[in-house]
């Protein structure tokens, strides 16, 4: 058994630093907000124009004019600011957001990411994903290591249409934490109880395995 969704969020949350501005995608990335270490302040950016996203509102505080990028009703945190979409993407594309966490279908050894479209299925659009991966320097991709048939999602080359080229340097899967550089995946940590052999077997792209691969602690 690899990491649970919550454990993945906990592991990502260890990369947070006090004073970080962070954009979290939908799914597992959203859960990271629940695991901000005690005493640390981070501000969540929502690309529809909100910096300093608070929790969901109580029933009596629901406001149709206050939503997040997933179109859910939200609240503002203390010290929040609200601005236009152009301003929002200026801070994303200008590299001002400290950490971006998002999901993907595939990542390859060149740092390419495919996350928005599966040919043959209905295409809904990329939303802000192409802007986020192109604009951020510090991105963590969270996804399962392999699909439900056991096929690796860490590939020599992405097979699906790209969201961004050469922009991913860190991937957290349910099995491992990996870095991408020089056209290779580098194994950094493994999930508790997961062997290096299993990770090697489920990584289709070239993988560099150091002598010592520490196990994540929870």
Residues forming contacts to another protein in the complex (CB under 8 A) are 46-50, 55-68, 70-74, 76, 82-86, 88-89, 92-93, 112, 122-131, 134-135, 161-166
How many angstroms separate the most distant Cα atoms in the chain? 56
Which of residues 66 and 196 has its CB atom nearest to another protein in the complex?
A: 66
β-partners of residue 113 are 107, 164
The two tokens of residue 191 are 């999930």
Q: Is 59 marked active-site?
A: no
Considering the complex, state which of residue 79 and residue 193 has its C-beta at the smaller distance from another protein.
79
* Contact (Cβ atoms closer than 8 angstroms) between residue 2 and residue 194: yes
Smallest gap, in angstroms, from Cβ of residue 6 to another protein?
A: 18
CB of 165 to another protein, least distance (A): 3
Q: Give the nearest distance from C-beta 162 to another protein in angstroms.
A: 5
Buried residues in 54-80 as b, exposed as e (16+ CB within 10 A):
beeeeeeeeeeebebbeeeebbbbeee
Nearer to another protein (CB atom), residue 56 or residue 218: 56
Sign of CA dihedral 153, 120, 110, 47: negative
Sheet holding 106-108, edge to edge: 113-114, 106-108, 154-155
Closest CB to another protein among residues 113, 191 = 113
What is the closest distance, in whole angstroms, from the C-beta atom of residue 39 to another protein in the complex?
A: 23
Catalytic position from the list 38, 41, 47, 106:
47
Residues acting as catalytic residues: 47
């Amino acid at each position: 058994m690899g990491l649970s969704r919550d454990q993945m969020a906990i592991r990502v949350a260890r990369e947070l630093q006090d004073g970080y501005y962070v954009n979290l995608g939908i799914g597992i990335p959203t859960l990271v907000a629940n695991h901000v270490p005690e005493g640390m302040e981070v501000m969540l950016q929502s690309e529809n124009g909100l910096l300093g996203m608070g929790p969901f509102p109580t029933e009596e505080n629901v406001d149709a004019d206050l939503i997040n990028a997933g179109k859910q009703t939200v609240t503002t945190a203390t010290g929040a600011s609200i601005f236009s979409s152009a301003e929002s993407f200026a801070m994303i594309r200008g590299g001002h957001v400290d950490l971006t966490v998002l999901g993907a279908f595939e990542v390859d050894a060149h740092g390419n990411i495919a996350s928005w479209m599966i040919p043959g299925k209905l295409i809904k659009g990329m939303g802000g994903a192409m802007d986020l991966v192109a604009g951020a320097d510090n991105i963590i991709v969270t996804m399962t290591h392999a699909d439900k048939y056991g096929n690796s999602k860490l590939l020599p080359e992405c097979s699906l249409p790209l969201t961004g080229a050469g922009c991913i340097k860190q991937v957290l899967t349910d099995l491992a934490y990996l870095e991408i550089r020089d056209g290779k995946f580098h194994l950094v940590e493994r999930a508790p109880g997961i062997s290096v052999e299993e990770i090697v077997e489920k990584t289709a792209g070239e993988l560099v395995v150091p002598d010592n691969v520490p196990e994540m602690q929870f």
